[in-house]
A = this chain, B = another copy of it.
Amino acid sequence: MKALIFDLDGTLVDTVYAHALAWQAALAEYGIETDAARLHRRIGMAGDLLVQEVARDNGTKLSPAKSKSANERHGELFARLAPKPRPLDGAVELLRKLRQRRVPHGIATSGERDSIRPAIAALKLPAGAIVVDGTSAHQAKPAPDLFIQCQRRLRAPEKDCFVIGDATWDVLAARRAGMLAVGLLSGGYGEDELYRAGAFRVYRDAGELLGSIGHLGLSL
């Protein structure tokens, strides 16, 4: 039996653009000016890793305490920009079919517990849905830890797991975990970026993946 492990932002909920703008505004308050497009390509990493990398690119450094506050400030600004995250096309239906057919599946996201709650609510997941978040992992993506934790909770061997994500970080972390990765364009990456990272297949969004689910050896 195959199992599916989903990223959250840009894969199931339409939050990547709001995250990019929230990071841009939060970092500017800490003196770090960066183009939104560069932040866009870093969404999905752990927040503290993102702050470190962007600071370094700007030739500066934030103390761990300031990095933590910048991360929290990003959370506040994001909640203002996207108070009710919108499920991406096909996401709610795909998840519902997976439940109906009892296909093991879960969510593995670098986001932290409190900040992802509205997204989980928007997806209408039942109580008991498997969600692994950045709070519980030693290392967030592109480390494979989150996907491996999710896989263990699904009790599926890694060779039977597909990771579904919108970012090159998802694809790289999946490969490090020994899993195949399916890319979705709904987070705004280009198709070639995902294929070059090593995606097994790339679809437009969760809806197109549902229509092509036979490619993964499943029928829904």
Contacts and interface: CB of A to CB of B under 8 A. Distances in A.
A189 interface: yes
A192 interface: yes
A16 to B, nearest CB: 7
A48 interface: no
B37 A81 contact: no
A111 interface: no
A88 B39 CA distance: 13
A81 to B, nearest CB: 7
A28 to B, nearest CB: 9
Interface in A179-199: 185-193
Given A14-B35, A37-B187, A40-B188, 10 more contacts: A14-B37, A16-B36, A17-B17, A18-B21, A21-B81, A33-B86, A188-B188, A189-B190, A190-B191, A190-B193
